[in-house]
Chain A
Amino acid sequence: MRKPARLAAVAAATPLAALPAMAQEAAPAALPAISAGDTAWMLTATALVLMMTIPGLALFYAGMVRKKNVLATMMQSFTICALVSIVWMVAGYSLAFGPGNAFIGDLSRLFLSGLAERWDQPFVMMEGEDPATIPESVFVMFQMTFAIITPALITGAFADRMKFSALLVFCVLWSLLVYAPVAHWVWHPNGWIYALGALDFAGGTVVHINAGVAGLVAAIVLGRRTGYGSENMAPYNLTLAVIGASMLWVGWFGFNAGSALEAGAGAAMAMLVTQIAAAAATLSWMFAEWATKGKPSVLGAISGAISGLVAITPAAGFVLPMPALIIGAVGGLAGFWGATALKKMCGYDDSLDAFGVHGVCGIVGSLLVGIFAYAPLSASGTDPGTAGSLGQFLLQLYATAAVFAFTAVATFVLLKLTDLVVGLRVAEEEEREGLDVTQHGERLA
């Protein structure tokens, strides 16, 4: 997200305190009010991000599984949408955006307490920060849609074999104990990664590396699908996946341009670079596949688009169009490598390539923003903004490694815990029969 200028620092530098009369006159003009334009854009962006999960991701994933698991796969995204909304309202928001300490928020905002007093005030994330020009309710809701899509992305890694009950237990635990802390580290002014100065505009670490690494661990802990490598696991209906990927692409404008938290020049630039990166990655994956496998596949083209969108996510508000072209092109190639060579080399069954695409391309984007950041885009007030440099690149590497390590360990523990409580994986017979009928009692005709 856009980093708000430190109002306290500006106020301290101005001798307002010595001139009470002037301060009284200046204060009302200096305090931003809620902007109708900014709020209108954030309401729109929030709806776009929600559309990414339902039906976007639900269709994208459902089109890639076998016919017997289509409904179960859609059900996972749809249920996570409802479940995480409640988790976020009850405690997730408080743990992510309550002041807390450097590592986690606190319980001061349980059940969104405090909104009654502040519902019509400009949102201030923390004492001393510059107020935003939107009400907190839309910020809560915008962030909720991010909290929803992140665990939904993980489901791609363990598609076709996880118990529905285990999915629910795991998602509640993971949202509270992995997603919320990492969001706090990166996006809350108290968070330790925020304090380091590492950049993550719209969730390269918080959403994509987080979900990708969790997916990788889940794929390893659950084990391969029965028949993996010997049976035909070709996608049931790629038209669903194309529609889903297209909705993700459009919804991503809410994701990236919405992360500006206002309807300004920053949001507009974020939208432009998002489109450029998505287009570049679509083409780079397509041509790479054409050259090495002989045919430019539909699944390859849409996977390329997602790769580029993931790669530009951490950089969207910080880079200009030329770097976006490079980030996208590299992202497409990296995703292609992650979903094919890397997966084959390591032997895990990341069924729909949650790690291969989101993890790998999230890392690519998180690192490249450290090289390509254009300072004026993040400048505000007295802050000159962050420019790309070797130092910034190393900082990005550090932040990426930290999130990678924490997520891997924490996800492993939570999966083992879930396994103890309800069992992670369906029985082999149920897997053969399909999750649609064994988990939900329904099937496609």
Chain B
Amino acid sequence: MKLVMAFIKPFKLDEVREALTPLGVQGLTVTEVKGFGRQKGQTEIYRGAEYQVSFLPKVKIEVVVPAELVDGVVEAIARAARTEKIGDGKIFVLDVERALRIRTGETDRAAL
């Protein structure tokens, strides 16, 4: 099992979700986060006062999938979230040791 953790532009969330559903992804978790990367930040100006906003809003998607699905999932997220402009985000893939569905007690692949 693999955990795919993707940081994307907030307005791309719906497109990513639509791209993942046909691949058999059964569920995912979304968090609103802030951070910076190469995009650095933005300048906001209020009545002439300039503020360097160093943390930009992003959406973090976490989805755990069987190992054989991971390449398709990563590719689908990347395709859906890409605008080819700076700040499109990043995807990380991590190993997952165990999984458990709390209601039924099912474990690992059956719990996904």
Contacts and interface: CB of A to CB of B under 8 A. Distances in A.
A224 to B, nearest CB: 12
A341 interface: yes
Given A233-B49, A300-B47, A340-B47, 16 more contacts: A64-B46, A232-B52, A233-B51, A234-B44, A234-B51, A293-B48, A294-B45, A295-B45, A297-B45, A297-B46, A299-B46, A339-B47, A340-B48, A344-B48, A353-B47, A356-B47
A19 B57 CA distance: 85
Contacts of A100: none
Contacts of A232: 51-53
Sort A-B residue pairs by CB-CB distance and give the 9 closest, nearest first.
Answer: A340-B48, A339-B47, A232-B51, A234-B51, A293-B45, A299-B46, A234-B44, A234-B46, A340-B47
B46 A235 contact: yes
Nearest to B53: A232
Contacts of B48: 293, 339-341, 343-344
Interface in A295-344: 295, 297, 299-300, 303, 339-341, 343-344
A303 B49 CA distance: 14
Chain B facing A: main interface SS: strand
Interface of A: 64, 232-235, 293-295, 297, 299-300, 303, 339-341, 343-344, 353, 356
Given A232-B53, A234-B53, A299 B44 contact: no
Nearest to A353: B47
Contacts of A341: 48
Contacts of A344: 48
Q: Number of contact residues on B: which range applies?
A: under 10
Contacts of B45: 293-295, 297
A159 to B, nearest CB: 13
A234 B45 CA distance: 8
Contacts of A339: 47-48
Nearest to A298: B46
B32 to A, nearest CB: 16
Contacts of B49: 233
A64 B47 CA distance: 11
Interface of B: 44-49, 51-53
B45 to A, nearest CB: 5
A132 to B, nearest CB: 41
29 contacts: A64-B46, A232-B51, A232-B52, A232-B53, A233-B49, A233-B51, A234-B44, A234-B46, A234-B51, A234-B53, A235-B46, A293-B45, A294-B45, A295-B45, A297-B45, A297-B46, A299-B46, A299-B47, A300-B47, A303-B47, A339-B47, A339-B48, A340-B47, A340-B48, A341-B48, A343-B48, A344-B48, A353-B47, A356-B47
Contacts of B51: 232-234
A312 to B, nearest CB: 21
Nearest to A229: B49
Tell me which of B46, B47, B49, B53 has the highest count of chain A C-beta atoms within 10 A of its own C-beta. Answer: B47
A300 B46 CA distance: 8
Tell me which of B44, B45, B46, B48 has the highest count of chain A C-beta atoms within 10 A of its own C-beta. Answer: B48
A230 B47 CA distance: 16
Contacts of A294: 45
A282 to B, nearest CB: 15
Contacts of A293: 45, 48
A232 B52 CA distance: 7
Contacts of B47: 299-300, 303, 339-340, 353, 356
Nearest to A232: B51
Contacts of A356: 47
A64 B49 CA distance: 13
A233 B45 CA distance: 11
Nearest to B48: A340
B105 to A, nearest CB: 36
Nearest to A231: B51
A348 B46 CA distance: 16
Contacts of B52: 232
B59 to A, nearest CB: 21
B57 to A, nearest CB: 14
A339 B45 CA distance: 12
A232 B54 CA distance: 10
A206 B69 CA distance: 73
A20 B52 CA distance: 81
A344 B40 CA distance: 26
Nearest to B45: A293
B111 to A, nearest CB: 34
A233 B44 CA distance: 11
